[in-house]
Amino acid sequence: MTEAAELVVCNGLSKRFCRRLKRSLWYGLLDIGAEAIGRRSAEGRLRREEFWALDGVDFSVKRGEMLGLIGVNGSGKSTLLKMLNGLMKPDGGSLTLHGEVQALIELGAGFNPILSGRENVRINASVLGLTKTQIDRVLPNIIEFAGLEAFIDAPVQNYSSGMKARLGFAVVSQLDPDVLLIDEVLAVGDTAFQEKCMRRMDALRKSDKAIIFVTHSLYQVEALCDSAMWLEHGRVREYGPANEVVRSYLDHQEQQAMSDSKDEGVDYEGRGTAATRAFFDARDATADQAQHAAKDGHAMVIEGVDLLSADGEPCDELPFLSSCTIRIRYDCPRPIAEPLFNLRFYQNGAGILEASMLIDGAGPESAEGKGVVECHIPSLPLTPKVYEVKLFVRSGEGIANLIEMRTVARFRVTDEGIDAVPLRGPMAVNHLRQGAPVYVPREWRFYKDGELTDTVRSSDD
């Protein structure tokens, strides 16, 4: 197959709702009557008290692609997912789906509280389309994945909400549809179970399924999705590569959050999510296993890379202009003379900063066995955005690659500490966040008739 087939195609998809219940019921009767005679009622226009929950949405998802849907609550994400799942009919446009469709929505919502977990798994799996033979085959995997072996025969009414969600995700994670719809289900359970969920999602992402993923976690979208669509008031605000859409949406959200925090008289601080960290931990663990498997054939193995905050703790967020340390743990099965470690910082695919021993010079004369090298940056000159760090290692003469370039970390610089610079300009905060990714201290000097008249410094030092 030269080109992946499009499994989901939406053209001008629209859906309207009515704000008042009685009028909504009346419109429903009119719509049923119109459908009975083969046409749509009030097609393309709004009636009294109605609004567009979705308005002219266009997108497509190919086999092997993952689309992330982002937007504030009420923007139309869940409505779109319900139409894709066949729970709602569109009021305009067209929707084409190819293959089997399955949804991961409201995990455990259909569980019977007086039945045991095992009985609920059988019923839930049967409703989702699995035969008795298939259920018998996957039941041990479901129980093991949920980690509820000791409680599987207890009534579900005695389960915590997290246990129900774990069991619900374990059931649906065994399905193998062509099109998979996912709605906010990856933040269930504790950190260990989140890692399981993210590993499963990573495996699905690499398969030949078309996946549509609704979430408020921008890191999950950036980490998992090929493309993203930002919905705002039912319309597509932006649609394209995931990292570009996420950046635009994050800028917009942080501007709003900063404004709200200012109104409340509190400092704004960006925060990551446990589920995001779980994904990167799982990804790094998988990479470590692959590296160990091939260890005998390599002069050097990178066992792990950690981004450390100013207090020395692993992190995936750093305040503006804070110090940071990148810790690289390596193992050399045989001696290597003067290995040269190199780190490059990328933003939206473009290299914007480098810390390189090809410039700074070599460290020890030889490296053998396990060791650690740290690159400490006293003040990271990056503006509030999402960045990737790539690592490669060269031999002592600087020619041969001991380690090919690879992504070893992804992190975000937050707005915390942004007041460390004066911000005197009329668009200082906005431009600092949305402008170039690198910030350096500077001084502006004004002259008249050869005499210095004015000086503007970027810092008060």
pLDDT, tens only, 288-314: 544 443 344 457 888 889 999 999 888
Place of tokens 């923007």: 75
Rounded to whole angstroms, the Cα distance separating 139 from 121 reads 8
Q: What is the DSSP letter of 156?
A: G
Interior CA angle at 353 toward 348 and 357, to 5°?
135
Q: What is the DSSP letter of 115?
A: S
Report in angstroms the alpha-carbon separations of 410 from 98, 188, 278, 440.
Answer: 35, 23, 13, 22
- Of residues 310 and 205, the one with the higher pLDDT is 310
In 3D space, the residue among 413, 429, 436, 202 whose CA is nearest the CA of residue 321 turns out to be: 413
Report CA dihedral (315, 321, 325, 326) to the nearest 10 degrees. Answer: 70
Q: Is 239 left (phi over 0), alpha (psi -120 to 50) or beta?
A: beta
Tokens for 184, please give them.
């906010």
Q: What is the DSSP letter of 222?
A: H
Q: What is the DSSP letter of 36?
A: H
The type of residue at 384 is P
Q: Which strand (E) or helix (H) includes residue 250?
A: helix 242-264
Is the pLDDT at 261 greater than 60, yes or no? Answer: yes
Max mean pLDDT range (56-60, 186-190, 203-207): 56-60
Rounded to whole angstroms, the Cα distance separating 223 from 242 reads 9
Q: Which strand (E) or helix (H) includes residue 162?
A: helix 161-172
pLDDT value, residue 323? 92
Ranking 81-85, 235-239, 244-248 by mean pLDDT, the lowest is 244-248
Phi and psi at 13, nearest 5°, equal: -65, 130
* Confidence band of 1 (pLDDT split at 50, 70, 90): very low
pLDDT value, residue 426? 75
Give the count of beta carbons closer than 10 Å to the beta carbon of residue 305.
19
Are the C-beta atoms of 101 and 84 separated by less than 8 Å? yes
Max mean pLDDT range (41-45, 266-270, 280-284, 379-383): 379-383
Is the pLDDT at 69 greater than 80, yes or no? Answer: yes
- Average confidence (pLDDT) over 21-44: 69
Is the pLDDT at 374 greater than 90, yes or no? Answer: yes
Are the C-beta atoms of 374 and 327 separated by less than 8 Å? yes
* Confidence band of 328 (pLDDT split at 50, 70, 90): very high
Max mean pLDDT range (187-196, 223-232, 255-264): 223-232
Q: Which residues pair with 342 in a beta bridge?
A: 356, 392
In 3D space, the residue among 73, 97, 74, 70 whose CA is nearest the CA of residue 86 turns out to be: 97
Give the count of beta carbons closer than 10 Å to the beta carbon of residue 346.
17
- Would strands 179-183 and 210-214 be described as parallel, antiparallel, or unpaired? parallel
What are the DSSP calls for 275-309, one per residue?
A: HHHHHHHHHHHHHHHHHHHTGGG-S-EEEEEEEE-
- Average confidence (pLDDT) over 111-116: 87
Domains belonging to the chain, first-starting first, are 6-11+62-257 (3.40.50.300), 294-413 (2.70.50.60)
Rounded to whole angstroms, the Cα distance separating 88 from 336 reads 63
Q: Please state, for a pLDDT cut of 90, what percent of the chain lies above it.
A: 13
Ranking 147-161, 238-252, 341-355, 415-429 by mean pLDDT, the lowest is 415-429
Rounded to whole angstroms, the Cα distance separating 34 from 11 reads 22
Rounded to whole angstroms, the Cα distance separating 60 from 229 reads 11
In 3D space, the residue among 406, 441, 420, 403 whose CA is nearest the CA of residue 310 turns out to be: 420
Is the pLDDT at 407 greater than 50, yes or no? Answer: yes
- Give the CA diameter of the chain: 92
pLDDT value, residue 271? 44
**Mean pLDDT score of the chain:** 79
Tokens for 332, please give them.
């050399």
Q: Which residues pair with 305 in a beta bridge?
A: 328
